[in-house]
Amino acid sequence: MGLTVWREVEEALEGIIADYERVNHLISFNQDDRARERGLDKIGCSLGPALELGSGPGNFTKRMRPRVRGCLVCLDYSDRVLTFGRARIGCKEMGYVRAIFERLPFREGVFNLAAAAYSLRDSTDKERFLQEISRVLKPGGRLLVVDIGKPNNPLFRGFFSLYMRYIVLIIGGLAAGYGYRNP
């Protein structure tokens, strides 16, 4: 993803902060939170510090927080998004850090858990991201990724691709007030 495209993505995401959760519920037919919960159920509770990657407006944060026995650090690229998330969640036992996935500003072996829900697609360099996560996780630390996958069935995959490419943009644009000119 080039810098120009990244800036467009950044502006679009910042522009829908208040509508982000509602739009995700609509385009996923209310399956987004269900998937977040299933992922968290798989890891159970986490002792010690945890890192949420791409915390956004706090959709996953509010589900993660009760399962973390220790400090939860919310990381996002945008000050606006972090400010919104902090105001929405309002928990004192949390940290908020502005950074990108490919250059995490933490010491080696700090976190027991790193988790990302629907955010790793915004990584500009997946290999570098994985190196950084490996570096900041403690030995035996866990990485939880909740995201959209492509169906194995070719017919479903074709429908899914069309849905993601066209229908999601229309639904999201209308729900966020952009109309058909959804950024």
Mean pLDDT of the chain: 87
Domains of the chain: 1-30+151-183 (no CATH), 33-148 (3.40.50.150)
Cα(57)–Cα(167) distance, rounded to whole angstroms?
23
Q: Which two tokens stand for residue 49?
A: 């510090």
**pLDDT of 2 strictly over 80:** no
Using a pLDDT cut of 70, give the percent of the chain over it: 92
| Of 133, 136, 130, nearest in space to 107 by CA | 136
Residue that is written with structure tokens 């509508």 in the block: 19
Cα(11)–Cα(9) distance, rounded to whole angstroms?
6
With 0-12 CB in 10 A as exposed, 13-18 as middle and 19+ as buried, what is 108? exposed
The pLDDT tens digits of the residues spanning 29-61 come to 889 999 999 999 999 988 889 999 999 888 899
**How many angstroms separate the Cα of 143 from the Cα of each of 51, 112, 115?**
9, 9, 6
Q: β-strands 137-146, 111-117: how paired? A: parallel
Cα(4)–Cα(175) distance, rounded to whole angstroms?
25
Cα(34)–Cα(98) distance, rounded to whole angstroms?
27
Q: Are 57 and 17 in contact (CB under 8 A)?
A: yes
Residue 3 pLDDT grade (very low, low, confident, very high; cuts 50, 70, 90): low
- Compute the residue count for the chain: 183
The pLDDT tens digits of the residues spanning 78-135 come to 888 898 888 888 777 789 999 999 999 999 999 999 999 999 888 889 999 999 999 9
| pTM for this entry | 0.85
Cα(97)–Cα(81) distance, rounded to whole angstroms?
11
| Of 126, 103, 98, nearest in space to 1 by CA | 126
For residues 14-18, give the mean pLDDT.
72
| Of 34, 64, 39, nearest in space to 51 by CA | 64
